A and B are shown apart, each in its own frame.
Chain A
Amino acid sequence: MRKGDKHSGRGQGDDSLARAPRRRRVAALAVLVAAALAALVLTRVWPGSQGRGDSPEWTEQEAAIQEALRARPFQPDATADELRDEAVGTVAALAAAYPEEVEALALAAHVYTRLGSHDRAAALWRSCIEIAPRFANAHFQLGRVLRQQGDLDEAAARLEEVVRLEPAHPGAPPLLADALMQLGRAEDAVAMLERHHEHHPGSDRSLLALGQAQLQAGRTEEAGETFAQLVAAFPADARGYYGLARVYARQGESAQSREHMEAFRELGAVDFHGRADEIRTYDDAANLRRLLGQALMDAGIVYGQQQDLAGAELAWRKAAALDAEEVASRRALLLLYEEQGREEKALAVCEELARLEPENPTHWLNLALLNGRLQRAEAALSAIERALELEPQSPKIREIHDMIREGM
């Protein structure tokens, strides 16, 4: 098979990864996990023939995980250095393990970008494009990196490709317009944005960019119409007033210009003291902890996709260890343990989820089912009664409640 074949069909309809930003992908997994669990609870209340429990085959793996979780980055007082290095190590290992998988490379590229390693990120995005030429988000991210590095020509080329591959992409047209204007191609920017606006009206970003490009191209009157449209559609958006003020100033309408500048000032006023307070409370380690947690969550997905369930478990366990309040990795672990028939582990995770989201009836339902399978009738009943309290009208919960009561 040719290198790019596997992914070359992506980008039209089946490329959820290519089309979805990273955060959306994670959310999508969380939904998947929840959906899978929901399906699961309806089919098996009592121990099934496939149940393997926490058999000795997991002992060695658990020991390795425990050892990994004793490392510094997973301690509450981990330093930013340790967290950053762990994030780099996580994505570097993933990219090395799966050099032909765009998901792995894209995750690494995202993390490198966040950590300022733009050259590495650009190289990874290029690899993604080589593997999957229709991976619009790779073109977009590469375009962003190149623009930041000052390579405007190639940035524009990458962003033009995004617009071609995914005409409705919300971020590419404004960024492409900016690059084109920097290259002195304001008319090209106007033409591109007009096409985009014609097919995808309603975006404040593209309207703003169109107005700016029209101003740059000397089309003052058209710019005025565009900014007026922006103000009408988004009256709370200060930038539209700023654009209009510039149009009026250029047309010599000083009073009108001042009026719109005042509107801009009022809407866009910056509270410098508030900003200073906000900046003072910035916590670098917490920021890196979030970055590492997200990287581990996503890495777990990639490992899972590659059938490396041990890798997935380790990544999600690390993510869970980083943040005692985090839910997504625990949901993923619950799904994983359920798939593997490791009901004790699943139960422990489910108890954590119920603690974190005590008002979520699904967790109590799952707790009831897992306890039921483990022959812990009292605990199962207590959990299902809690679920019923939270959602008394649910036929599903009521059905399971009845099953548990009958089985006692």
Chain B
Amino acid sequence: MRPAAALRDRPRGRLALMLLLGLLLPGRDSARGAEGPIALREVSEATGIAFVHTDGGSGARYIMETVTAGLATFDFDGDGLIDIYFLNGAPLRGASFDPEDPPKNRLYRNNGDWTFTEVTEEAGVGDTGYGLGVVVGDYNNNGLPDIFVNNFGGYVLYRNNGDGTFTEVSRAAGLVGEPQAVGAGACFLDADGDGTLDLFVSSYLDFTYETHIHNVWMGYHVYPGPDHYPPTADRFFRNNGDGTFTDASVESGIAAALGRGMGTVCADFNNNGHTDILVANDSSPNFLFENDGRGAFREVGLESGVAFDLYGSIHGSMGIECGDYDNDGWLDFYQTSYQGQLGVLYRNLGGTLLEDVTMSTGAGAGTLPHVTWGVGLIDFDNDGHRDLYIACGHLYDNVDLFSDATSYRVRNILLRNDGRGRFLDVSDRSGDGLLPELSSRGAAFDDLDNSGRIDVVVLNSRSPPTVLRNESPGGHHWLQVELEGTRTNRDGVGARVTVAAGDLVQVAEVHAGRSYQSHYGTRLHFGLGRRDHVDRIEVRWIGGDVEVFESPGVDRLIKLREGTGSGPM
């Protein structure tokens, strides 16, 4: 029996006891099975998170079942601890569920001791729609993070009331959505530099029960694919600054491009101070919407190199992540893909070309047999180089019947950045956190215990989530940065932070919405390796103003308020 299967088959109570004993054993300060510099321990059971995802399926195999769902990690109540919001599916036609307790999204408050308390009802965020994508952002600039959910069948906007509760304001804000739209990822961005967050909503396809395709492959009833449906346009909503949005999809140029949007991330790919939009499209070329700074976009995916892989092939793109993996000051991108295709690392060659460097970097290692979803370019061992975590799992629940190359439930992948341009597959020596075999979708990465090490939360289709505690050894230093905009948007979304520590210079941007239909990482994290001080922190706010801040030290979270730094030197 494979280790993960053995683990799953044990009674839950016994597993919890074993985990507890493991925690108490002397000298065991890293995850079991970890032999390398990264150690991720599986702590899901002990967190008290009882959420179990459903895809709402009835056996009819509707396409949206395959792509649900994302999750968000953010500090909803301002207590300094990162909380978790899971999206959930909803009963589709023919599915039977307890009407007294329908599937819903769930919010878990972080207790600070690796346990979480469900606060869905108190917070009022238990949407029972069919959840797909989520993004968190302070759309009304009141210092409180709000939640936007992109469902099949419409949008949901939760305004944070600041007292631990939210109010659903979708219609009042002008965010309704279309009943037939199967949503996907979403991002907040300040596209026009007016200091408020606009909203980009990725659209997968349009679906009605009447257009459902009964698909059969090799004699087995399988889900239809995106190619069964025509491509559709993504949507862009301009923030009016009064708590409402206006649909500007057409005038912004977004609606001119048709694709099958999945994950999306907004980032300044050419470092011109304006936030651009990247969309991972399933079975159609990826988009890169270049922003002219006034919120008008031109689709430049093809000429920038991100539309296709190095062979010029279309991918079944799923998630897309952003981060400077080689510390050259330019934001790179990683796109997850369908079975038989490598996950693709696009290296940013100075803002003109995103070059597929998957092969030369080894960034696709282990991905070829699997469908890959959530992805994080995260420095797990704080050595100053971003590693890769890739969530995997086939979308056909019965794929094992007709392919032994992959499985519905598989292990996720961890690739360590060696700092010399190569990624090494360390999935087998990075702790028991890499053992679970599940069908993962969204993945989020944040420091759940404020330890200075980035932890992992994974939403698994039809299963409980996975929570991985980062127990990587190494004694490396780190710095976390949280921005507060005053003239620009409150969370500093789109701002670029450069941290210089000796020979190590890193950049990161604040993103709202990323990877596979998820949100995480509002606090920027910088691993510093053995460097025990930071020489300089530079923030370029949206609009181009640059400020320099002194770091009070390392191994801490610092909050930088716009207007309190000095001018650039």
A residues sitting closer than 8 Å to B (CB atoms) are 79-84, 115-120, 147-150, 178, 181-182, 184, 186, 208, 212, 215-216, 238-239, 242-243, 245-246, 249-250, 252, 254, 257-258, 261, 264-265, 268, 270, 272-273, 275-276, 279-280, 284-285, 288
Contact = CB atoms under 8 A, between A and B. Distances in A.
Interface of B is mostly: loop
B305 interface: yes
Contact of B216 (A115, A120, A148, A284): A284
A150 B353 contact: no
A184 B308 contact: no
B368 A118 contact: no
B342 A276 contact: no
Interface of A is mostly: helix
B97 interface: no
Contacts of A246: 305, 310, 353, 355
B24 interface: no
Contacts of B7: none
Nearest to A278: B227
A250 B353 contact: yes
Contacts of A242: 308, 311-312
B500 interface: no
A79 B220 CA distance: 10
27 contacts: A83-B219, A116-B405, A117-B404, A148-B369, A149-B369, A150-B368, A182-B365, A208-B311, A212-B310, A212-B311, A216-B310, A239-B312, A243-B312, A246-B305, A249-B303, A249-B305, A249-B355, A250-B349, A257-B353, A275-B227, A276-B227, A276-B229, A279-B225, A279-B227, A279-B228, A284-B218, A285-B219
Contacts of B360: 181, 184, 186, 216
A239 B314 CA distance: 12
Contacts of A81: 219
A310 B116 CA distance: 71
A280 B284 contact: no
Nearest to A182: B359
Interface string B323-357: 00000000000000000101000000100110100
Given A116-B405, A118-B404, A212-B310, A284 B219 contact: yes
A147 B303 contact: no
A242 B403 CA distance: 33
A243 B308 CA distance: 11
B402 interface: yes
A212 B353 CA distance: 16
B353 A149 contact: no
Interface size class of B (residues with CB under 8 A): 35 or more
Contacts of B228: 276, 279-280
B403 A116 contact: yes
Given A80-B219, A288-B219, 5 more contacts: A80-B216, A82-B219, A116-B404, A117-B403, A119-B404
Contacts of B219: 79-84, 284-285, 288
B405 A148 contact: yes
Contacts of B342: 182
B230 interface: yes
Interface in B357-372: 358-360, 362, 364-366, 368-369
A190 B368 CA distance: 22
A243 B405 CA distance: 31
Contacts of A149: 369, 405
B217 interface: yes
Contacts of A150: 366, 368-369
